[in-house]
A and B are shown apart, each in its own frame.
Chain A
């Protein structure tokens, strides 16, 4: 027990938690926007891969770090648009379309990577984002040390939490997106475009998801590996239910998850001899399922989630 307290009181533990949480924050926010508009986006896992690959590739080709972020967001938006066309005007199964987008985005990314770099055993590295020192914040005791280890992308993720909260709760656009996910007929009666709102929400949400992938190759690591996303997208889909579609709770859920993951890595070195390492490796996935089971019953799903809407048909 003493060891746990020592871990919980260390700055490096909280810095790691925030770092692990960052891609999840992007992913959960993106999934939240899509689902609030009434469309489940299971393309998330593939969009993470596409963001990770395209962002990294753009930097490697010389676009600069922020150029890479932009490319990743555009790639995410592109795959989101495919999902949007299939599920909104065509009204196809959101489950199958999402999985199709995941398989498509993943294979496009892997194929492009292998075509650009046919015979490399160790992937080329880029110069990733450096930790950002913010003058006054960095001087704070404890918190300053945690925050000064974070890169600009983590700050962007935190800013996005606020932005998404503001748009969803304080603007007409947010009201319209929520309405289209609850009762599209009422939105249509107001003379607003159901298709336009949903497609826009999916494209924007997907662009955010792709930034989660870009964080992996441009901040957490400095290269692209096959299988590096490793289920993070699916974890986000579980977390968004746990967060009951609220940006603040999404941040909290991602941070809790990050803290738990950082803790298990440190526990592994403490008690690694007694417990097989696989117990720790499986922990994040088991935790996600538990979070889902706990939250599912009292979850208030957007009422029109998974229900396609056609113009002129009531």
Chain B
């Protein structure tokens, strides 16, 4: 007989080792689909590494890709800590992006030190609204936020198509459904010359540091963790559960909205309907790989971005479908889930005599 027993102490080796090992195993497992696709496996891995570390430009592209993942990863991590299942980061990202396009394309003419904070404020507020609605439906009507946030993603993307064909459409865009360009003084400044990596990355890391501190040291963070760990005990201790949930929703939505701000006002410079290749959903994986720790989100976003950028350049070189990246990333989620189990529990061989 095999029995499952909880481990007594949460050992540091497990909490850091499991995610790293899972990521590693997922990368090794990628050799199976590579083999199926008929690509030489070892050369493919070399190409993947070259796509990330091969040049200064390649590395900066990886950092560029990691920036939105840090924001959506933080959005998921903070909400999940409160057991608020925000699966709507994709939609909230587009709400932030729409707010950026609405304000930054000429509605307000102001110098950078006024315009950029305005864009960020409205972008985050738009994201917040996208999460507060499902949170209210949860606290008021008991409607499961998983389903409402997922369905809202579809509604928001349809709304985006309407905005790009109507109010936000670029009159000079030759009929393409895209917004006018963001004013130069509304753009987040770049970090390196001739590279696309921009100061959104710095904002993301600062957000992670603040989130880490708030979660570990502030009363707000304590309440949020208490509600997530045991809602009945939290209520018994006098914590206003619904208010804490709405608060977590506000912050989570704002972070996801910030991903949209940073993609439009940091990278692209205008809004299209294919702005995000699923950054919202990938953020969930980033958060889980990080063990829901804000600082961990920064590291796991770098890993996931490396997989995406590396697999992209590998697939171009080797003629393998770029869906390989999604495959590796989703496999790493499944691996980290299984690994997390062995971090918290151990299997004990029990003899029949030993059982009561």
Q: Which residues of A contact B (CB under 8 A)?
A: 42, 82, 86, 89-93, 95-97, 99-101, 103-104, 106-108, 110-111, 114-115, 118, 230-231, 234-235, 237-238, 241, 276, 278, 281-282, 285-286, 288-289, 292-293, 296-297, 299, 310-313
Contact = CB atoms under 8 A, between A and B. Distances in A.
Nearest to B287: A96
B288 A96 contact: yes
Contacts of B326: 103, 106-107, 110-111
Nearest to B321: A114
A231 B285 contact: no
Interface in B143-164: 143-144, 146-148, 150-155, 158-159, 161-162
18 contacts: A89-B4, A90-B341, A95-B146, A103-B330, A103-B333, A110-B326, A111-B33, A111-B323, A111-B327, A231-B150, A231-B154, A235-B151, A238-B147, A276-B162, A293-B137, A293-B143, A297-B142, A310-B4
B331 A278 contact: no
Contacts of A292: 143-144, 147-148
B324 A286 contact: no
A296 B141 contact: yes
Given A96-B284, A100-B337, A289 B143 contact: yes
B144 A110 contact: no
A296 B152 contact: no
Contact of B143 (A86, A104, A286, A296): A296
Interface of B: 3-4, 33, 36-37, 85, 87, 137, 141-144, 146-148, 150-155, 158-159, 161-162, 166, 281, 284-285, 288, 319-321, 323-324, 326-327, 329-331, 333-334, 337-338, 340-341
Instruction: Report, nearest first, the 4 A-B pairs whose CB atoms are least far apart.
Output: A114-B321, A107-B326, A103-B330, A278-B162
Given A107-B327, A278-B158, A292-B143, A86 B284 contact: no
A96 B85 CA distance: 9
Contacts of A286: 155
Contacts of B331: 104
Nearest to B160: A278
A313 B4 CA distance: 9
A100 B144 contact: no
A108 B148 contact: no
Given A118-B319, A289-B148, A312 B154 contact: no
Given A90-B341, A100-B334, 14 more contacts: A86-B337, A91-B341, A92-B337, A107-B327, A230-B154, A231-B150, A237-B147, A276-B166, A281-B158, A285-B158, A288-B147, A289-B151, A289-B152, A292-B143
